[in-house]
Amino acid sequence: MSMSRWVWVVALAGALQATAAMAEVTKAVPGQFEITLKAHVAAEPDETYAAVAKLGQWWSSGHTFSGDAHNLTLEPNAGGCWCEALPRGGSVQHMRVIFAAPGKTLRLSGALGPMQDQPATGVMTWSFAKAAGGTDVTLIYRVAGPLGEGVDWPPLVNSVLGEQFGRFTRFVDTGSPEVKKP
């Protein structure tokens, strides 16, 4: 296992232990898994959709290659890049937008984090539905293809996405992704 991949696996394992899973592994069979997350936020669908593109304000820096979430950008239009700036002019394309319907659906394609060097791919779909008092948000991430041996990918990805989704919903509802301390 390469050193960079090992660092990501260790970080994912730490996240699994440190966070309460908000996500659910809805499918896990050899060569495929699916993670589903759902929440209600107080904002309207258009505002909630727009907040996804503010990745640098709500994504955890601990789950970036650069160590700083402010280096993340997302262009929420077809062909748009979920990218990360790296030192010395480097960059990472995490995912590519393949469908964008503002206030309704945002769909991206790509394998996140340590899955990026595997012959697998993922499709992430964000859905936004008007509901009493705000928006019902659903995030589904489907991954298919061969992944590295010896890693139980579904619970690791479930944990990381659960953490990020929690940060996202807090950001939408309060303007900050951080858990408020009593």
Instruction: List, for residues 105-144, the tens digit of each pLDDT value.
Output: 999 999 999 999 999 999 999 999 999 999 999 999 999 9
**pLDDT level of residue 14 (50, 70, 90 thresholds):** very low
As for how many domains the chain has, the answer is 1
pLDDT in tens, 37-83: 999 999 999 999 999 999 999 999 999 999 999 999 999 999 999 99
Give every CB contact of residue 116 below 8 A, 6+ residues apart in sequence: 92, 94, 110
* Residue 158 placed within a domain: yes
* Residue 129 placed within a domain: yes
Residues recorded for the chain? 182
The whole-number average pLDDT for the span 98-109 is 98
* Residue 164 placed within a domain: yes
Residue 142 pairs in a beta bridge with 34, 123
- What CA–CA distance (Å, rounded) separates 168 from 113? 18
* Residue 106 placed within a domain: yes
Domain CATH code at residue 122: 3.30.530.20
Q: How many beta carbons lie within 10 A of that of residue 106, not counting itself?
A: 25
* Residue 95 placed within a domain: yes
Amino acid at 97: V
Q: Is the pTM of this model over 0.85?
A: yes
CA angle 149, 153, 157 (to 5 degrees): 155
* Residue 182 placed within a domain: no
Q: How far is CA 84 from the centre of its chain?
A: 13
Task: Please give the residue range of the domain that contains residue 160.
Answer: 3-174
* Residue 181 placed within a domain: no
Look at residue 22 in the predicted model and tell me its pLDDT: 54
